[in-house]
A and B are shown apart, each in its own frame.
Chain A
């Protein structure tokens, strides 16, 4: 996924916040579930198909304290992983 891509969270996937802002993303069609921390939850909520990945990273950096330098790569890896598992798609060009 590129920094200019605009990822969109699958509306089918359930965000289930469990303890202390940690959460589970659950795909009821496949029964796949992914655990995620509060940063992952914030990323998930920003993936609306209108916001560029680079902007999602910026917003997350501004929302959390003591964000490590590696956070852009970590967020990109997280989104890529969700994309590979069918949890996230991309808004088609021209739409």
Chain B
């Protein structure tokens, strides 16, 4: 009997949160940055007045949270005015940063609002030599200085560690540094992906199968050593956990996973949306080429509820993996979600396609084994 199609997520009246790329400027040029050298991006900043007008719309609709990203959000000299606009409109906020431009003045201001959920700072190693290899000279010192400044002001710091060829051997030191020396509650991990600037540096940056397997083994071991303190929605740790479940299910002939066998890998568009630095509404910052409208010109409610492009992404779960030649004969199909549509797009040119980057069968074909 045909497996029933999982019910498409019910769409709420307006998104709960948005990710805003408030600037296209950055003090760094990281070798794997998804944002720069991305043909979908328009590298132009909006004046503060445009953002503030948009915040009024978001406040009137009951949007709860904004994530300010970039570029580097602390690059904007008028950041306090933007934050005041967020607070005035009864929202909370978080920031994605490289940490290098954070100083006492802005940290004190943010803490004073009482509305900052966290600042995520990227840290890719336990020392400058490793961290700076992809992010540029001086960036490690800047990141750590930024973290300590935030901690001093009582702002929650959420570190993100992006795994690439140059930091796999440093993962153990990095975990110890972040959790024991810096005293972080936890940190998140992912991996450099074939997007933006990374495409030109893929040979030097992206993990090969052997490195991916090694990163997976190290991270699974570290996750056991530091229970609940190493997080992953993507990258080697997430893959390792998911692929272990898939292998166990296949070996035991278990029924399909609840969300398996279809393109269910992304639920982002059920409750959030993104805005590019030039003010264009997009489904996600990983899908910056799908233009849904423009802030202050198009009604957010109209875009959110009726955009054909957005609804097409929401309907991805109706697409069966068995429709793809790529998945033909794969024993893991009933347990697979197709993963991130953003990476599927950059790797295959199609959004409605499983992501080859997250393919367990491909990993095994290339000689990979599960730790």
Contacts and interface: CB of A to CB of B under 8 A. Distances in A.
Interface of A: 12, 14-19, 24, 26, 28-29, 31, 33
B62 A16 contact: yes
B interface, over-half SS: loop
Nearest to B14: A16
A14 B10 contact: no
B10 A29 contact: no
Nearest to B61: A16
A8 to B, nearest CB: 17
Contacts of A16: 14, 16, 62, 64
Interface in B50-97: 62, 64, 87, 90-92
B314 to A, nearest CB: 15
Contacts of B91: 28
29 contacts: A12-B90, A14-B62, A14-B64, A14-B90, A15-B62, A16-B14, A16-B16, A16-B62, A16-B64, A17-B13, A18-B12, A18-B13, A19-B10, A19-B12, A19-B13, A24-B64, A26-B62, A26-B90, A28-B64, A28-B87, A28-B90, A28-B91, A28-B92, A28-B115, A29-B114, A29-B115, A31-B92, A31-B117, A33-B64
B13 A26 contact: no
Contacts, number: 31
Contacts of A14: 62, 64, 90
Contacts of B12: 18-19
B301 to A, nearest CB: 12
A26 B16 CA distance: 11
Contacts of B13: 17-19
Contacts of A26: 62, 64, 90
Contacts of A29: 114-115
Interface in B29-64: 62, 64
Counting chain B CB atoms within 10 Å of each CB, the highest count among A12, A19, A28, A31 belongs to: A28
Contacts of A33: 64
Nearest to A12: B90
Interface string B90-122: 111000000000000000000000110100000
